Each structure stands twice: as structure tokens, then as C-alpha cells.
Chains A and B, each alone.
Chain A
Amino acid sequence: MSAETKEREPLFSAKNMKLVTKPLNMDNPITVQVLGICSALAVTAKLKPAIVMSISVMVVLAASNVVVSLLRNGIPQRIRIIVQLVVIATMVILVDQVLKAFVYDISKQLSVFVGLIITNCILMGRLEAFAMGNKPWPAFLDGIGNALGYGLILIIIAFFRELLGSGTIFDIHVIPQAFYDLGYKNNGLMILPPMALITVGVIIWIQRNRNRDLIEK
């Protein structure tokens, strides 16, 4: 017994913390794994929906990672995708109901995209790649880490899109009126989804310039 407790890892061991920090940069779900791009385009016109979306994804991802990890030994290989989908769908519906109950306006802005978390590639990707083969606690951390990495990129994109596209941050005007008087104008293209894609591209560009080993040969 005592030997077993010695082998048990501490909850916040270096290896476990790596699960959280790695997706923030070197293994980022959006810029490196290129998952979940569609929602990154759809919800990042303003900061508020982007943040709510990130939190929703985090809750869904962490919770379904844990549930699937708990079930992992009981799921037959052949129907595992269906089981994973059922778990995700349950979580998504819960989150959707909570959003509708407490932040109705933003829930309306996010419209179908909360529902579409089900099809967000990050979720299936992490469930398949991690939760199916790991214990609940690492799976939980992995979910939190990937959701953080996803949210980080979302928030960066949304920050620039809202600032340049609408001149606001959290719907508060930050670009002084004097600029507008001088002839400054908001960039209408920033509001349109293509610009989110280009912003993602720029982030990937900067990231690979700083971490040379991410560049594909």
C-alpha cells in the first residue's frame, strides 16, 4: 500500500502542469493543431461573446473530458464516437441553458455557435486523443489547458477586431473622439469573418517566428 501511495503523482506535478501550459503556446489548439477555427471566425467580432464562448468551451471540454475518462474502460471501441458525442451534447445543452438563463443577450449573439460546440473539432480531438487513454485528473487538466489555449487566441483576435472594427473594448469607446474628428474611421473589414482568418494567420506567423521548431520542414 505504502509503495503505491509513493508512486502516486502529486496533483500539481510538473508533468500535470505541462498539460495546462503546453496548449497555451507550443501545442495551441488553434494555431498549432488547427482545430476549432470555425468558431474562432464566428464569435470574435466583439470581446464579450468571445470570452463567454471561451468559458463555455472550457466548461464543456473539462467536464466531458472527465466523464469520458471515467467511462473509458467501459466504452466499446466500435461505438466510442457516439458515446463521446452523447457526453458532449449533454454538456453543451447544460451550458446553453445556463447561458440562456443568466446572460440572455450574449446567448442571443452567440446564437447557434453554442450549440455548435458539439461539432467543435477541439472537443472530439481531445476526447479521442487524450481522455480515452488517461485518468480523470490529467484529462481534466488537459481540458482546461486546451480550452485556455483556445480562449487565449479567441480573446486576442476579438481584442483587435473589436478595437479596429468598432473602436470599442467591451462596448466602451476607447478611441478618442479627436481621432474621428481628424478623419479616422473604423475598419469595416474587421467586422467581417475573413479578417478573423487573417488575424489567425498573423498570430501563427508571429508564433512560428518566435518558436522556430514549429515551422514545418
Chain B
Amino acid sequence: MKALRKFIDKQKPHFQKGGKFHWLESTFDGFETFLFVPNTVTTKGAHIRDSIDMKRTMIVVVLATLPALLFGMWNVGYQHFLSLGETTDFWQNIGYGALKIVPIIIVSYAVGLGIEFYFAQIKGHEINEGYLVTGMLIPLIVPPDIPLWILAVAVAFAVIFGKEVFGGTGMNVVNPALVARAFLFFAYPGDMSGDKVWIADKADTFSGATPLGNALVGNFNHFHSFSDMFMGYIPGSVGETSTLMILIGAAILLFTGIASWRVMVSVFAGGLIMGLLFNWWGANEYMNLPAYYHLVMGGFAFGAVFMATDPVTSAQTSRGKYIYGFLVGMIAILIRVFNPAYPEGMMLAILLMNVFAPLIDHYVVESNIKKRLKRLKVVVNS
């Protein structure tokens, strides 16, 4: 560790003003602060300081996604061999899955970070850390068979139009990972929906429909069991199948205090209540599906834990977070059941509520001001 520190200190002058690589200053700074907590201190004004900075925060989120990622690797292999009718052991499944997913992760990071570094360099900014998480989330929400060039285009689109045009990390209105997914969904529907894409290189005779796909066409005879869906033994996007692994990630996020429990809880509550409402209505078979099934199907849990809780794009006020999360959950189920064109409503629900989050905050703050003004008047009058 010391040797590394020494090495970096020795290289530093080259990258500062006047050094021969001064045009790479942002890049150098990015790597240095990635490896070591920066030793700069705030010089002006009073700040509440925490030992954890942006990069450390982001790393915790990446760690929290690891259970889902590792399970996803295994599941990609498992589903593939299942469709071929072969029985394989644990390591064969993991190996096959890794072969599929590691390139996706590499492409996601290479393209995304490349663009981030480029923008930071021409603006002369520090490099934004935000992409560390986005780059991990994107591979988890795409099907395992996604062509890599399409993924690269989507990542570039998401980073440039989802984030950089608004001013980089912390300024974006909508979640960049979901922008990437939405782009894929609308631009290349053949690779993002239907029942052919969710199992890597599956045999033609094997039905690769996800529970959502089955539910949509009313195929409830061969429906996956609740425990299968909870454990994640179902076809789907890489990291979203296993609710159990996502809950482990949620535990890490909540324990470290990085994600908001208010958002998570209210998303699940919103989904459950909407499901119950549909149960009560019961106009067709999809509506009669037990409400708790909705929470483990598709990307609902993943979206609730990793996407809706994004501190930048979710509502900022406590009361706003309840409203925001609740509406995300409700709208997700609503889209799922009502709109046959969009089998997975979670993505669209979160994107929609991202846009509305500032409005929710605005009214929460306004109502708070009004409440306190009333209190003030009472004091003055008496």
C-alpha cells in the first residue's frame, strides 16, 4: 500500500499544471482518489463531514449488487443448460454465465467510463464517480444475450443524454441505467422483449417465457412457483431474477445507511396494495394473480432496491420519499396488468416518477411551510 502511495506521489507532478501530462489531470485525479481517500480538506465555512465520500458510497452499492450478479451468472448458465436438457454442476453453470456476462460488464464500464473521462477532461472537472454504480447496474438489467454493440450504443446514449447534458453526476433528472434500458427497449425491441431473449442461446423447442410474459398471455398453467421466483430459478434479465439475493443487497444498503428504507418500503407497499386492488377487482386471470407474486416477478424487487432508491433521482424529502415510492410501486403494477405492450412496468414507472420527484418535493416543502406559518400565527394571536 505504501509503495503504491509513493509511486502515485512520484507521478503526480507530471500531471499537474506545467507537467508533461497536464492535459490528463482529471484522469489522474480520478484514479488517485479512487485508490486513496483524498487528503483535501474544506477550507471555507462550516460543513458536516463524514469519513465516507462519493467514491466509497458508490463502492458499497456495487458490493450490494454482487450477490445478485453472482447468482445471475449461475442462473444464466443454469437456464441455458436446462433449455438444452443437460444436467450440469454448479461450476459449469457459473462458468457459462461468466462467459456471457463478463463481456457485458467490460463493455458497459469501458464505454461509460470512456465517455465520463472524456467529458471530465474537456470540462476540466474531476471525474464523476456516478458511473461506477450505473456501469454495474446496466449489465444486471439487460438480457444475457444482448449484442455487445447494441449495449455500447445504449450505454453511450444513457451517459451522454441521461447524464452529461444535464451536468454530470448529481444533476441528472432520470436514472441513467434506466435510460439505457429504456433506450434498448424502444430502439431494439427484438433483443429486449418477447420470450426468445431471456435464456442465453436456448434450444428452439424450449419455452423461454418469463413469468411476466406468461402472465401477459394468460398462460397460468405452466406458471413458475412462488419459491422459484423468490429464489430466482427463472429466465429474465441477468441480475433481477432472484429476489432473495436482491434482499441481501438491500440489507447491505440499509445497514450502511446508503439507500433510503422509506423508498424501498413504500415501493413494496405500493405494489402490494395495487396487487390487492386488482385481486379485489378480479376482472381477468392476471388480476386474480395473488398480489405478493407481483413483488417477486420481473424487475420489481430489483427496481425497488437499486433503482428507485437512487439518491439523485428520487424525492429528497422524507414525506416525499413515501409518496414517490408508493406511486412507483402502484404504477409499475398498473402498467404490467393493463398495458400488454409493456410487460415490465417497473422501468417506466421509475422513470416517470423520477421526472415527478422534484414536483413532489416542491409540494411537500410548501405544505410544511404552510403548516409552520399557521403555527406562527397562532402564537402571534394568543
Contacts and interface: CB of A to CB of B under 8 A. Distances in A.
Q: Do A and B bind each other?
A: yes
Interface of A: 183-185, 187-190, 192, 198, 201, 205
Contacts of A184: 149
Contacts of A185: 147, 150, 188, 190-191
Interface string B160-204: 010001000000000000000001001111110000000000000
A183 B147 contact: yes
Contact of A188 (B153, B161, B188): B188
Contacts of B189: 188
Name the residue in B149, B153, B186, B190 with the highest tally of chain A Cβ atoms < 10 Å from its Cβ: B186
A142 B246 CA distance: 62
B190 A205 contact: no
A187 B165 contact: no
Nearest to B189: A188
A188 B193 CA distance: 13
Contacts of B190: 185
Contacts of A188: 186-189
Contacts of A183: 147, 149
A190 B183 CA distance: 10
A189 B149 contact: no
Nearest to A192: B186
B186 A189 contact: yes
A205 B187 CA distance: 23
Contacts of A189: 183, 186-187
Which 5 pairs, one residue from A and one from B, show the smallest C-beta to C-beta distance?
A189-B187, A189-B186, A187-B187, A188-B187, A183-B147
Contacts of B165: 201, 205
A184 B190 CA distance: 12
Contacts of A205: 165
Nearest to A190: B187
Interface in B105-157: 147, 149-150, 153
A183 B150 CA distance: 10
Given A187-B153, A189-B183, 12 more contacts: A183-B147, A185-B150, A185-B188, A185-B190, A185-B191, A188-B186, A188-B187, A189-B186, A189-B187, A190-B187, A198-B161, A201-B165
A193 to B, nearest CB: 11
A212 to B, nearest CB: 15
Name the residue in B150, B183, B187, B189 with the highest tally of chain A Cβ atoms < 10 Å from its Cβ: B187
A209 to B, nearest CB: 11
Contacts of B188: 185, 187-188
Name the residue in A189, A192, A205 with the highest tally of chain B Cβ atoms < 10 Å from its Cβ: A189
Nearest to A164: B187
Contacts of A192: 186
5 contacts: A183-B149, A184-B149, A187-B153, A189-B183, A205-B165
Nearest to A201: B165
A165 to B, nearest CB: 9
Contacts of B153: 187
A187 B188 CA distance: 6
Contacts of A187: 153, 187-188
A98 B186 CA distance: 37
A95 to B, nearest CB: 34
Contacts of B161: 198
A187 B190 CA distance: 11
Nearest to A184: B149
A178 to B, nearest CB: 15
B333 to A, nearest CB: 25
Nearest to A165: B187
A192 B150 CA distance: 18
A188 B150 CA distance: 12
Contacts of B149: 183-184
Nearest to A194: B186
Nearest to B188: A185
A189 B149 CA distance: 16
Interface string B215-233: 0000000000000000000
A184 B150 CA distance: 9
A200 to B, nearest CB: 12
Name the residue in A184, A185, A205 with the highest tally of chain B Cβ atoms < 10 Å from its Cβ: A185
B43 to A, nearest CB: 29
A188 B192 CA distance: 12
B284 to A, nearest CB: 29
A187 B189 CA distance: 9
Contacts of B187: 187-190
Contacts of B150: 185
B200 to A, nearest CB: 16
Nearest to B149: A183
B173 to A, nearest CB: 14
B165 to A, nearest CB: 7
A185 B150 CA distance: 9
B196 to A, nearest CB: 14
Contacts of A198: 161
